[in-house]
Amino acid sequence: MSTIPIPHNLKLCFNVNSNESNQNNVFGMMKCICGCDEFYIQYFGDLSKHFIEHYVLKTVLCDEEYVMCMKAICAKCKRKYTVFNSLTNGYDSFTRSNKKNIDLQSMKTFSCRKCKKDVFRIFITLEYLDKQDIMEDIGEDFELGNAFSWIAVDLECRSCFKKYYKFIDYETS
């Protein structure tokens, strides 16, 4: 059996559902190394409302690059994790020739639109192309876990249990 790929930024905090995951589709939830699965959410990008109470994080143009970023801060120990940064994570991060360091200091805090609380559980889905297809595009010098082609992030408010499906729904290739 082959190893399930996990991005470098999630290795310490991504609890993979191995019963449903395989080499091309990885499902799981975030869990801090302290054992807590509740997080505060910070984001950089355009938070757009779609349909009734459906919010989606979109990229914004920043220094000639389209950027979005989501960070999670453990509600218990305050350890910070980068869930996704469109500049450094995913398939495009390998193919982008001009890697800019864009200042993401203006992160905003996400709170539940229903109860106004700000602690969430985070569920992540990653999709990968076949390793051979990636090697044809970018060569052999890459870590498969970081070369995912799609990421979807769902949030669940820990206070009122409102779900924010596809808070991030982003193709990286």
Kind and range of the H or E run holding 123? strand 120-127
pTM attached to this predicted model: 0.90
> From residue 51, how far is each of 54, 75, 136 by CA, in Å?
6, 29, 39
Tell me the CA end-to-end span of the chain in Å, nearest whole number. Answer: 26
Q: By three-state DSSP, how is residue 2 classified?
A: coil
What whole-number distance in Å separates Cα of residue 154 and Cα of residue 18?
Answer: 18
Q: Alpha-carbon distance 62 to 166, whole Å?
A: 23
Q: What is the pLDDT of residues 108-160, one digit of tens each?
A: 999 999 999 999 999 999 998 776 666 566 656 556 678 888 999 999 999 99
pLDDT at 1: 41
